[in-house]
Amino acid sequence: MQNTDSANYPESALDLLLSSVSETIGMGFRFSQALIRWSKQYGRQGLPWQGHKDPYAIWVSEIMLQQTQVSTVMERYPLFMRQFPTVKALATADLDAVMALWSGLGYYSRARNLHQCAQQIMEKYSGKFPNTVQELETLPGIGRSTAGAITAFAFEERAPILDANVKRVISRFFGVTGNQQNHKTVQLLWEHAIAILPKSKSQMPLYTQALMDFGATWCTPKTAKCQSQDQSCPMMRECKAYELGQVDRIPAKTKKKQSPTFTTHIFLFRYQDEILLERRPPKAIWGSLYSLIETPWEPLGEKIIHPKSIDVKDLLYQTCLANHLSKNDMDSIASIEESHAIEHIFSHRRLRMQPWIIYLKRKWSCRSAALDWIWISQLKEYGLPQPIRVFLESSSR
């Protein structure tokens, strides 16, 4: 006789799947609601880009925040918005003006992409920001997470975000131990990010901001709240990493390669109150910014620059003559001054620059469109890499 008591049947794969889905949905709902409650007490308030519904203002803040600290963005964002208050103002601006305003924020491809993206929004969408993740993702410099943030904040769409902080929170909460560079791990994190979205669209702006704040201030890489004396994390009861005692091991750490060091000589040509700048190619490091004429970057290895052992005139001759200047120009050098070496650290490399100040008796004529004599008093109007700006400001007085 067949037993009709379902409790005696082994659970089918479908039952298991359904119970796991409903558990995840329940967990997701609890996560989003706990996070929203948390943000009312602990979320960051009064940031200049908060509370906006204008997708342009949201987009600019999201791009600026990508690799720049909040305290710096707090200062620079209002200046940017004052100079370029609309997507049209940004699209029609000179790239130099955008680069100049971005000076010091680093990762300059962001500024070039902002400018290019604004132009595409004007051309393809008549200046109206697209409101779907799919369309936004086709624009320069906008990835899935940024597109999610723009649509969640501006259009209350149920679109997930997955920046580095959010990846960490989700990895810990769900106990995802895989390598975060791995495509499958990232896929899984996106799936979890979707599962924990609030059901109501109207909660999306608050929830998205709360998730960003929680990752940035509470579930941080080194000092997750649950690891401190203050055991008040609202996620503790369901957080897998906490349950397993693996908070310090999740997400898995990737071994950082040692950054190689490169070396270059940079030349500040000076004639009275004018200096010679060279615009860098768009695809180079510090692309489209103005800088000084330089020798090709070489891996430093064991080699160390000993300025005294260098024949600077010969170096100048090799560097400049072929491209920009005539042989007769060398006669107009009044004096050459050695300056202190400059060290600059990029995300994946270091650069050691040896500057030389070349005083001229007469101004060299430029045969390259990339070269420009500018008045020292005009420096602020040019987009310059930060270490070059600091060097020029201290040596051009």
194 vs 89, 154, 189, 197, 322, CA distance in Å? 35, 18, 9, 6, 57
Give min distance, CB of 165 to ligand SF4, in A.
Answer: 11
Q: At closest approach, how far in Å is the CB of 21 from ligand SF4?
A: 22
Taking the complex as a whole, the smallest distance from the CB of residue 185 to ligand SF4 amounts, in Å, to: 17
Binding residues for ligand SF4, per CB under 6 A? Answer: 169, 172-173, 218-219, 224-226, 233, 235-236, 239, 241-242, 247
**Residue 218 vs 382, nearer CB to ligand SF4:** 218
Q: Least distance from C-beta 249 to ligand SF4, angstroms? A: 11
Minimum CB distance to ligand SF4 smaller for 46 or for 245: 245
With respect to ligand SF4, which residue has the nearer C-beta, 73 or 224? 224
Query: Looking at beta carbons, which pairs linking 252-259 to residues 24 or more positions away fall under 8 Å?
Result: 252/177, 252/178, 252/179, 252/180, 254/179, 254/180, 254/181, 257/348, 259/345, 259/346, 259/348, 259/349, 259/350
* Cα angle 347-349-354, degrees, rounded to a multiple of 5: 125
The nearer residue to ligand SF4, 79 or 236, going by C-beta atoms, is 236
User: What Cα–Cα distance (Å) separates residue 226 from each residue in 167, 215, 218, 229, 269?
Assistant: 18, 13, 9, 8, 57
The nearer residue to ligand SF4, 91 or 241, going by C-beta atoms, is: 241
Please list the residues that pair with 333 across neighbouring strands.
360
Give CA–CA dist 297/284, Å, rounded: 12
In Å, how far are 85, 162, 301 from 223, measured between CA atoms? 38, 20, 36
**Placement of tokens 């400018």 in the chain:** 115
Q: How many CB atoms within 10 Å of residue 65? A: 20
| Helix and strand totals (H; E) in the chain | 14, 9
Nearer to ligand SF4 by C-beta: 100 or 233? 233
Nearest to 91 by CA among 64, 122, 129: 122
* Backbone phi, psi, residue 140, to 5°: -60, 130
Which residues are catalytically annotated?
Answer: 62
What are φ and ψ of residue 332, in 5° steps? -90, 10
Q: State the nearest-atom distance from the C-beta of 195 to ligand SF4, in Å.
A: 15
Q: How far is the CB of 229 from ligand SF4 (least distance, A)?
A: 13
- Omega into 251 within 30° of 0, i.e. cis? yes
